Amino acid sequence: MAKRKYTFTFDPHKKGLRKILGDLETDIMEIVWAKDEITVRQVYEQLKVQREIAYTTVMTVMSRLAEKGLLKKIREGAAFVYRAASSREEFTQSTVKKIINELLADFTAPAISQFVESLGNEKPEKMEELAKLIKAKRKQNV
């Protein structure tokens, strides 16, 4: 089966990665990121402590995460082990980049304006950091 490019939805009302991934996908990815490699059974055992869930549900979601390219599915004997295709930080960075690029492509002026306004209102000390980043980028492009 060919690996599909991961697509996501964005729910601004949720917290953290739940804005991007579903609740169960987020829980599974957090468990996988905490380990080098892991089986469906091991993920299931951790999840069933927190919620009522079927083993087959965990297996299906992990297979879909592998199809989407978020997990690597590796056969070891009769079983499969899973690894994260990228670190949590790499995934977050690439997803934020995609969101920002899409906003800038479709709504350049309002996206920039709202970003600067929000940054100034929420974290005024970050405005100086933003100015330094802009200055460094300008030097880099010269």
8 A C-beta contact, residue 25 and residue 14? no
Instruction: Please state the pTM of the whole predicted model.
Output: 0.80
The 10s digit of each residue's pLDDT in 74-103 is: 999 888 999 999 999 999 999 889 889 999
Over residues 35-49, mean pLDDT = 96
Q: Where do the H-state alpha helices sit in 35-125?
A: 40-50, 55-67, 88-122
- Res 1 pLDDT > 60: no
Domain ranges of the chain: 16-85, 89-140
- Amino acid letter, 17: L
Among 89, 42, 37, which Cα is nearest to 66's? 37
Q: What percent of the chain has pLDDT over 90?
A: 56
Torsion of CA 61, 66, 71, 76, to 10 degrees: 100
| pLDDT for the residue numbered 10 | 81
DSSP element (H, E) containing 81: strand 79-84
| pLDDT for the residue numbered 4 | 56
| The CATH number of the domain covering residues in 16-85 | 1.10.10.10
Evaluate the CA torsion angle 132, 89, 19, 102 in order and state its sign: positive
